[in-house]
Amino acid sequence: MNDEQTSDEYTVLNVMGPYREPREPAFSYDYSVERPHWGTPQGVRVKVFIKPELEYFKENILGVTGGTSGQQLRANQILCRHIADHKLKLGNQDGLFADRRDVMIGLFDDDLQHLAPLLEGWMQAEKDRIRKEIQEKVGI
């Protein structure tokens, strides 16, 4: 049991982004992660897709609407980062970056469709906390 826990442990050294993906309706974050047994960190790119993830969370689950364009931009930044961070955790739990190699975590469809309900479950579980954060930080 202890070996299993340590093999799943990772540390995020740095996060860069969000970047707008040029050929996809998505934003991405580049995480530099390391595990205790790796000699060097690896890169994990996590994509947050606008319609099926960001807008779905913002509009359907949180019900966040209105505000100025600046408020909407800031709300999207906060939500995007929360989604990306959680997708990174789900990717780790699924073993997507268990080996030391660069990885891209995209939309949870096809081979990763089993992770989509976990992401939505997290959205439902965290909606009150994140809605409050948006209200406090953005004012909408």
DSSP result, the chain: -HHHHHHH--EEEEEEEEEE-SSSSEEEEEEEEE-TT-SS-EEEEEEEEIIIIIIIIIIIII------HHHHHHHHHHHHHHHHHHHHHHHHHTTTTSSSS-EEE--S-GGGGGGHHHHHHHHHHHHHHHHHHHHHHH--
Q: What is the pLDDT of residues 29-82, one digit of tens each?
A: 999 999 988 889 999 999 999 999 999 999 999 999 889 999 999 999 999 999
Place of tokens 């340590």: 6
Q: What value does the mean pLDDT take over residues 11-20? A: 96
Please give the Cα distance from 84 to 47 (Å, whole number).
Answer: 7
What is the percent of the chain with per-residue pLDDT over 90, rounded to a whole number?
82
Q: Which residues contact 25 (CB under 8 A, 6 or more apart)?
A: 49, 50, 51
Q: What does the pLDDT read at residue 7? A: 62
Given this model, what pLDDT does residue 65 score? Answer: 87
- pLDDT for 6 equals 45
Mean residue pLDDT across the chain: 92
Q: By C-alpha distance, which of 4, 48, 5, 14 is closest to 34?
A: 14
Domain count, the chain: 1
- Asked whether residue 85 carries a pLDDT value surpassing 60, the answer given is yes
Which residue segment(s) compose the domain that 104 sits in? Answer: 2-138
Report field, pTM of the whole predicted structure over 0.85: yes
Residue 94 has pLDDT above 90, yes or no: yes
